[in-house]
Structure 1
Amino acid sequence: MKINMVLMLLAGILVVMAISFQWKISSDAAYASELEAQYQQAMDDYNENNIYYSPQATTQWIVQRQNPAGYFVTNPDMLFEPSQLNNSTLRGTRYAISTLGDLNGLHTINRHAVIDFILGLYETEIKQTRVETYTRYQRGTRYDGFKTLPGQDVGVRPTMDALMILNRLDLLDDPRLNLDGIWNFIVAHQNEDGGFWDEHYPKLLKDSSMKCTSFAARALAILSQHTGRPIPEKLSKGVIRFVQNNHDIVTGGYSSQPGENSDDSYNAFRAFKSIWDTTNGSDEIKRQAVSDSIDMNALIDYFNYNHYLVELGGYSRHSNLENKKASIKATHLTVWLLHNMQLLDYVDKQSISKYVMSMKTPDGQYGGDIYTTYSAIGLLQKMGIPSAPKPEPEKPEKPAIIPSIVPTTFFITALITLHLGYQTKKFEFKTINKALIIQASTDALTGIYNRQCFEQKLKHEIEKSLRYKRPLTTIMFDIDNFKRINDKHGHIAGDTVLKEISVLIKDALRDSDIFARWGGEEFIILSTETDIDGGRQLAKKMLDLINEKEFTVVQKISASFGVTEFCAEDSMESLVKRVDNAMLEAKRQGKNRIISVDAKLNCQPACLTSGL
C-alpha cells in the first residue's frame, strides 16, 4: 500500500514537472518571439533612419572634374572643351574647393594648378572699370580684385569666389596678393544707402542689391579673419540699415532692392549673411547682432509658411506657385541660416535629410552638378548627418529552449510509474496522452491536420526545399457557396459536406502530401517534390473529383482552387498569402475554377492564369 502511495506521489510530481516544463517552454517561446519583434522593430528603425553621406565617393566625383589648368567643370566628358571655361567656371571651382574642404579632400587635387588659375584672374592697381569710372576711387590708394575671365571686368562676386578658394587652400599669404588693395576694392563698392553694387551684375548698374551686399560682406569677412583687420563700424551700420530697408513686414522676407517683391528666399539668407559677416567678434556676438536687426520668429514663419514643401521635405527658392519647387540650394541656405542662429529645432531635419538623400546617386553626387552637391554636403554636415552608416542592430541570440520532448517524456514516465502501481490505470493514462497528441495536430471535425500542425509541417518542408532545391507546391481551395448550404440545409449538413470532401481529397492524395483544414470551408494542401505544373494537374484532378461526387445532402458542390509554387525569396507567410490571393481570384472570376501564380516570375501575383 505504501509503495503504491509512493508511486502515486512520484507520478504526481512527474506530472507537475511536465506541466512546469511545458510552461517554461511556452514562456521561453514567448520571450523569443518578443526578442524577435524588438529586433524587427530595431531593423525597421535602422532602415528608416540610417541616413549618411559618402565623403570618399563625393570627393572622387569632384576630383574627376578638375581640368589640368586648375579649374573645375560640371561634365568630365567635356573637360577639355573651350566652352567649359566661361563666366561660371570660377564660381563652380569655388563650390568644388569648398566641398572638398568640407570633406577633407583637398589633398587629392592639383593645388598649384588652382592657384595659377586664380592668379590668372587677378588684376592689380585698378584705375577704373568698363561700367564707368567709380568716383570713390581715390588717387594714391591701391585697388586690386578678381574677374571671371581674362579681359573681363573685375567684380565683387568673382573677388569673393577667389578669396574663398584661396582661403580654403591656405594661400592668402601668397606674396603676389595685395590684401589691402583687395580690401579697398570691396569697400569702394558701398553706396550711401549702406548696400553694395558690383560690376559683375551690369544690369543693376551701381544700385545696391542684397545679392551684391552679401558677396561683399563675405569677402570682407575672409580678409578680416585672415588679417585681423576689423570691419569698420560705419560700414557695418550701413549694411544693417540697407538690410532693414529691404525688409517686407507683410511676408517677413526680404527683397533684393527696396520696393521689390520678397518671394525669393535667397534674399533672406543674404540679409542674414550680410549682417553676420560684417559684425566683428565671436559667433555669439554675430548671433546677437543678427537677432537685434532681424525678427527671427517672423523669418522662420516666412520660410516655413511660404517656402517649405511638406510633401517633399525641401524648401523652395520662390514662394509663388508657378516657381515653387523644392531646391537643395534653397534648403541649404535656409538650414545654414538656422544652423548659425542655433534654431535648427524649427525644421524637420528627418524629412529634409530624406529629401536630400533622394537626390543622391551611387557615385556620391547630388542633383547632377557641383553646386547642388556642394549644397547637399554643406546641408548634411550642418544638420549633423553622419558620414558612415550606423551599425546594424544585433540579432538577438535565441534563448535556450527546453526541447518539447521533455514534458512528453515526463508524462510518459508518470504513466509508466502509475502502471507499476495501478495496472488498471495504464490504459486510461495512455488514452489521455494519445488524445492530447491527436488534439494538438488534427481537426476535430474532419480528422485531417489542423492549421497549427500544417504550419509546422510547412515550415519544415520549406527548409527542406531550400536545402535540397526541390520543388514544393501549395494548393488552397474553398467550397463555393458554403454559407448557402448552411442556410438551406443547416450546419449539420454543412459539417457532413466538410467531412465527405475531406475523405474524398485525402484518398486522392499521396502519403507524402500534407492535407489540412485551414479554417471554415477552406482547405490547404502541401505537395512535396511537385512543381507548379504538377500542382495544376493535382488541382484539376481534385476539381474533377468534387464536380463528379454525389454528396449525401446537397448532391453537387463546387470549389475554387489557388495554386502556387514556393520560391527561394518566399517566407511562409508570403507563400500562403499568394496561394490565398490566387484562390480569391478564382472566386472573383466565377468560382469552380483554378487560378495559379507562377513563382518563376519573381513570385509576383500579376501572372494569374486560369487552369480551366
Structure 2
Amino acid sequence: MNRVLLLLAGMLVAFAVFFQWKIANDALQYSQRQIQYQQALEAYRENNIYYTPATTIQWIVNRQNPAGFFVSNPDMLFEPSQLNDSTLRATRYAITTLRDLGGLRQINRIAVAEYVMGLYKADVDGARYAPPGRYAGFRTLPNEPVGVRPTMDALMILEALDLLDDPRIDLQRIWDFISLHQNPDGGFWDEHYPAFGMASSMKCTSFAARALGILHRHMNKPFPQELSQGVRRFVSSVTDPVSGGVRQQPGAPVEDSYNAFRAVIAPLDTTNGDLPARRRAVQDVINMDRLSGYLVREYYLPDFGAFSRYSEPKKKKPSLKATHLVIWLLRDMVYLDHIDKHRISKYVMSLRSPSGQYGGDIYTTYSAIGLLQKLGVPTRPLTPPAKPEKLVTVPSFVPAVFFIAVLLTLILGHQAKKMELQSINRALSIQASIDSLTGIYNRQKFESLLKDELDKFGRYHHPLSVIMFDVDDFKSINDQQGHLVGDQILREISAVIKRGLRNSDVFARWGGEEFIILLPGTDRSGAYRLAEKLRALLESSRFSHDRRVTASFGVTELLEGDEPENLVRRADLAMLIAKEQGKNRVHSLVEETHSHLKPRYIGIG
C-alpha cells in the first residue's frame, strides 16, 4: 500500500511539475510576444510616415480666384494687390501640385486657361531682337514685357491642363522667342531679370531649358545641335572643377545650391534622345559623384534632415525649396541612395499642418509635395501591429492541487505565495502607469515619458509642446451632484479629449480635475490650435446629467535649455492666466510672465 501511495505521489508530483513547466513556458512565450510587439510598435511609430492628398488639394482649391489665378492668402482672395508680378508663378505652383495629386478636376480649369491666355502676347516686337522676326511669349501682367521666366510658367500651366494645342497660341513663335535669348557662350538671358542684363546666368538658362523642354516634348521638335552644345558649354563654364559646385555666372562665387539643380536640369531638358542619353549628356559636363558629395558636405543639415540654400555658415538654415531641388536633381540622376530619405521625409512631415499645407504658402507646399512624391512617401498609413493576446494556459491552481494531493503543503504554500506575488507585481506594474479613475496615463508615467521626449529633443530638436487644462468650476459639480457624478464626468472628459488626439500624443491626469497633454513634433502654434479645438470640443459636448463642461487651457513650447519642471510650470502658469481672463479659453505662453500669479505646481520628481 505504501508503495502504491508513493507511486501515486510520484505521479502526482510529476503531473504537478509538468503543469508548472507548461505555465512557465506559456508565460515566457507571451513575454517574448510582448517584446516583439513593443519593438514592432516602435518601428511602426518611426516609419508610419504618410501624407493625405485630399487635404492639400482642398487647401489649394480654396485659394483660386474666380478669375482663374491662385493666391497665398484666401482671406485676401478678392484684394487687387493679390494680382501682381508673382501671381503667375504662384498659379503654376498650384496647378502643377494639383496635377501631381490628381486634383485638377476640383478647380475652374477654364478660368485658369483664360487667365494665362490673358498674359499671352502673340506678336512680340521683333525689332528689339537680332535677328528681327515674329515672336510670341507670356508676361507676368498684361502691361509688363514678355520674358523667358513667365513664358516657362505659362507653358507649365498649359501643359498640366493639356491645353498646349490651344489655337490662340503659336508654339513655334514661342520657341523662336526663347531661342533668341541664347548668347554665344551657350547660356541664356531674360528680360524678367534685369539685374543680369543680357549676360548669361544659370538661373535664366535653366528657365529657358525647361520651357524649351516642354515645347520639345509637345511639338516633337528636335533641339538644334548648336543649342544643346551651347547649354552644356555654359554649364561647364560655371562648374567648379575642384568642389563640384556651380556658380550663377562665370567668375561668381560657389554658394547657392539652387544652381546645382539648374546646372543638371538645363542639359537634361535640352538634349535629344531618351532619358539615359540625356543623363549621359549631363555627366559629360558634371561629375555627379563630386557634385552629390559637395551638396551633402556643404548644404545638408543632419540635425534637421534638410538642405540649406546657401553654404555660408551665417546663412545656413533648413529650406524646403532647397531640399526639393537637391532631391529632384539626385532623383533625376539616380543618386537618391546617397542621402537619408527617411530623415528627409520626417523633416517634410514635421512642417505639415492639419489643413494639408506645408511651410505656410503655396510654394513651400509645392516643394513639400514634390519631395514626398520623389521620395516615394505613401499616401496611406501603415497598419499598426496587432497586440498579442494572452495565451490560454493551464490554470495556476492545478499544480497546487497536485501538490496538496501528495501532502506537500509547505511546497504548495511556498509556490502559491510565489505565484500570488507574481500576480500582484504584474497588477502593480500596470497600476503604476494608469490612472485608476480615468484609464489614461497617471502623473508618474507622464513624467517618465516627458523625460524621454526631452532626451529626443536634445538629439533631434523636434518641436515639443505641452497643453495643461483644468475643468472650470468643477467644485460646483461635486458640491451640487456629488463626487460620484464628478468622477463620471472626469471619465467622460478623458474620453472626449482622447478622441481629439493623435496616437503619438501623451494624455495624462495631472491631479484632481487637471489634465496634461504632451505633443511631440508640435510647435506652440500647432499646440494652440489643438488646444482651441479641444476646448471647443468640450464646450459642445454633453456630459452626465445633461451637464455642460468647459475648461481653461494653457499652452507652451519647450525652449532650448528648458528643464522638465520649467516646461510644466509655464504650461500651468498659462492655464492660470486663462482662468484669470475669464475661463473657457486658451492662453499660450512663451516665457514666464504674470509673476503675480502663483501656479499650482509641485514639481517633477
TM-score relative to the length of structure 1? 0.71
Q: Which consecutive segments of 4 or more residues in structure 1 shift more than 3 A?
A: 435-441, 451-454, 456-469, 567-570, 597-610
Q: Which residue of 1 aligns with 2:413?
A: 434
Q: How far apart, in 1, do the equivalents of 2:602 and 2:317 lie?
A: 44
Query: What is the correspondence of 1:109-148 to structure 2 with a 5 Å cutoff?
Result: 109-128=107-126, 133-139=127-133, 142-148=134-140
The residue matched to 1:152 in structure 2 has which SS? Answer: coil
Residue from 128, 148, 159 that aligns with 1:156? 148
Q: What is the CA distance between 1:13 and its match in structure 2?
A: 1.0
Determine whether 1:233 maps to 2:225. Answer: yes
Cα distance in 2 between the residues matched to 1:292 and 1:152: 38
Offset of 1:411 from its aligned partner?
A: 1.9
Rounded Cα–Cα distance in structure 2 between residues aligned with 1:269 and 1:344: 14
For 2:350, the equivalent position in structure 1 comes to 358
User: Could you give the per-residue CA deviations for residues 275-324 of structure 1, whole angstroms, max 9, x where no partner exists?
Assistant: 10001111111111111210001101210111111111100000001211
Identity of aligned residues (%): 54
Structure 1 counterpart of 2:413, one-letter code: K
Counterpart-to-counterpart distance in 1, 2:410 and 2:38: 43
Distance 2:383 2:431 in 1: 34
Aligned-partner residue type, residue 28 of structure 1: D
Partner of 1:183: 175
Residue 37 of structure 1: which of 35, 38, 43 is its match? 35
CA RMSD of the aligned region, Å?
Answer: 2.7
Structure 1 residue 608: Cα displacement: 6.8
**Alignment partner for residue 374 of structure 2, among 382, 386, 400?**
382
Partners of 1:463 and 1:214 lie apart in 2 by: 59
**Separation of aligned partners in 1, 2:288 and 2:142:** 42
Shift in Å at residue 430 of structure 1?
2.7
Q: For residue 202 of structure 1, what is the aligned residue in structure 2?
A: 194
Deviation at 1:9, TM superposition (A): 1.1
Specify the alignment match of 1:19 in structure 2.
17
Are 1:276 and 2:268 an aligned pair?
A: yes
In structure 2, the CA distance between the partners of 1:468 and 1:603, relative to structure 1 (3 Å rule), is: closer
Q: Which has the larger radius of gyration?
A: 1
Please give the residue correspondences for 1:574-593 in structure 2 after superposition, counting only pairs within 5 Å.
none
3-state SS of 1:185 partner:
helix
Match of 1:261 among 232, 253, 264: 253
Deviation at 1:413, TM superposition (A): 3.0
Match of 1:103? 101
1:310 aligns with 2:280: no
Q: State the Cα deviation string for residues 393-449 of structure 1 (Å, max 9, x = none).
A: 12223222211112112222333xxxxxxxxxxxxx3344234434666xxxxxxxx
Superposed displacement of residue 366, structure 1: 0.5
Q: TM-score under structure 2 normalisation?
A: 0.72
Amino acid at match of 1:430: T
Query: Residue 78 of structure 2 aligns with which residue?
Result: 80
**Offset of 1:467 from its aligned partner?**
7.8
Provide closer, same or farther for how the CA distance between residues 435 and 473 of structure 1 changes in structure 2, counting only shifts above 3 A: farther
Relative distance call for 1:458 and 1:267 in structure 2 (3 A) is closer
| Aligned counterpart, 2:467 | none
Rounded to whole Å, the distance in 1 between the matches of 2:49 and 2:434 is: 38
Per the TM alignment, residue 456 of structure 1 is displaced from its structure 2 partner at its CA by 4.7
How big is the shift at 1:111? Answer: 0.3
- In the alignment, residue 362 of structure 1 is paired with which amino acid? P
| Alpha-carbon spacing, 1:438–1:59, altered in 2? closer, same or farther (3 Å) | closer
Per-residue Cα deviation, 1:364-406 (whole angstroms, up to 9, x for no partner) = 1000000000000001100101011111112223222211112
Is the CA contact (8 Å cut-off) linking 2:400 and 2:415 kept in structure 1? no
> How many angstroms does 1:452 deviate by?
4.5
Measured at CA, do residues 407 and 286 of structure 1 come closer, stay the same or move farther in structure 2, by a change above 3 Å? same
Matches of 1:457 and 1:85 in 2, distance apart?
66
The 1:456–1:93 alpha-carbon spacing in structure 2 relative to 1, beyond 3 Å, is closer
What is aligned with 1:93? 91
Equivalent-residue separation in structure 1 for 2:186 and 2:431 (angstroms): 81
Q: Distance in 2 between matches of 1:50 and 1:244?
A: 42
3-state SS of the aligned residue for 1:25? helix
Alignment of 1:127-526 (within 5 A): 127-128=125-126, 133-139=127-133, 142-415=134-407, 429-438=408-417, 452=422, 454-456=424-426, 458=428, 466=436
Residues 257-284 of structure 1 deviation map (CA, whole Å, 9 limit, x = unaligned):
1111110011111010001000111111
Q: Deviations over 1:45-83 (max 9, x none)?
A: 111111111100000000000000000000000000000
Q: Distance in 2 between matches of 1:359 and 1:609?
A: 34
Change (3 A) 1:257 1:609: closer
Question: What letter corresponds to residue 212 of structure 2 in structure 1?
Answer: L
Which of 48, 67, 88 is equivalent to 2:65? Answer: 67
C-alpha distance 378-412 of structure 1, shift in aligned 2 (>3 A): same
Unpaired segments ≥5 residues, structure 1: 416-428, 442-450, 475-566, 571-596
Contact kept in structure 2, 1:15 and 1:410, CA below 8 Å: yes
Separation of aligned partners in 2, 1:464 and 1:383? 39
The letter of the residue matching 1:227 is M
Give the superposition deviation at 1:125: 1.6
- The answer for the alignment partner of 1:57 in structure 2 is 55
- Looking at structure 2, the residues matched to 232 and 461 of structure 1 have their Cα atoms a distance apart, in angstroms, of 77
| C-alpha separation in 2, matches of 1:176 and 1:335 | 37
Comparing 406-415 with 160-169, which one deviates more in the overlay? 406-415
Matched residues in 1 for 2:338 and 2:431: separation?
54
1:127–1:137 Cα contact (<8 Å) kept = no
Gaps of 5+ in 2: 445-489, 495-509, 518-563, 566-599
Change over 3 Å in CA distance of 1:186–1:609 after alignment to 2:
closer
Note if contact 1:73-1:79 (Cα within 8 Å) is conserved in structure 2: yes
- State the SS of the aligned residue for 1:144: strand
Q: 1:192 Cα deviation (Å)? A: 0.6
Return the offset for 1:602: 3.6
Asked whether the 8 Å contact 1:314–1:331 carries over to 2, the reply is yes
Deviations, residues 496-537 of structure 1 (Å, cap 9, x unaligned): xxxxxxxxxxxxxxxxxxxxxxxxxxxxxxxxxxxxxxxxxx
The amino acid of 2:164's aligned partner reads L
Judging changes above 3 Å, is the alpha-carbon distance between structure 1 residues 431 and 210 closer, same or farther for their aligned structure 2 residues?
Answer: closer
Cα distance in 2 between the residues matched to 1:603 and 1:63: 36
Counterpart amino acid of residue 127 in structure 1: D
SS in 1 for 2:138: strand
Q: Deviations over 1:179-214 (max 9, x none)?
A: 111111111111111001111111211111111110
Contact 1:313 1:352 in 2 (8 A): yes
Q: Secondary structure at the match of 2:135?
A: coil
The SS at the match of 1:39 is helix
How far the C-alpha of 1:600 sits from its partner, in A, is 5.0
> Is residue 217–residue 277 contact of structure 1 (8 Å, CA) maintained in 2?
yes
Kindly tell me the number of residue pairs found equivalent between the two proteins: 460
